[in-house]
């Protein structure tokens, strides 16, 4: 995974990052956006247009203090989310899938 979206995105969901992403790898949960770790090409286009301060970061700059963000983004694709039958996996593009309408437990619990 090249980039990760942190909890600074919760309830912001501006979607500028989605529009700018050349590979359509940013997916919309209920309260937060998520970068698919297998689809991201590390271009940085999303980071430059993000209106939420420090919401999108390169994984290499997060360090150990950001490991929960990395795990949370991966969990969005690897675990069964509320209201779904199976993990999202790698759908091959967010625009084809549309809004997921569910979040990881970490985001769902956030105030």
Q: Give the total number of structural domains in the chain.
A: 1
Domain range spanning residue 23?
3-88
Say if CB 100 and CB 80 are below 8 A apart: no
Which pTM does this prediction carry? 0.91
In sequence order, what E strands does 29-103 have? Answer: 33-35, 56-58
| Residue 107 placed within a domain | no
| Residue 50 placed within a domain | yes
Average pLDDT per block of 10 residues along the chain, 111 residues long: 86 89 95 93 91 79 82 94 94 92 93 90
The predicted structure's pLDDT at residue 73: 92
CATH number of the structural domain spanning residue 24: 3.30.70.20
The predicted structure's pLDDT at residue 55: 86
């Amino acid at each position: 995974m090249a980039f990760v979206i942190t909890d600074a995105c919760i309830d912001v969901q501006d979607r500028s990052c989605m529009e700018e992403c050349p590979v359509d790898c940013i997916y919309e949960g209920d309260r937060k956006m998520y970068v698919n770790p297998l689809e991201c090409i590390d271009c940085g286009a999303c980071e430059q247009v993000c209106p939420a301060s420090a919401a999108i970061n390169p994984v290499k700059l997060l360090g150990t203090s950001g490991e929960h963000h990395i795990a949370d983004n991966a969990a969005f694709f690897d675990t069964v989310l509320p209201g779904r039958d199976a993990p999202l996996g790698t759908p091959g593009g967010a625009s084809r899938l549309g809004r997921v309408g569910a979040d990881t437990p970490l985001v769902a619990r956030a105030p």
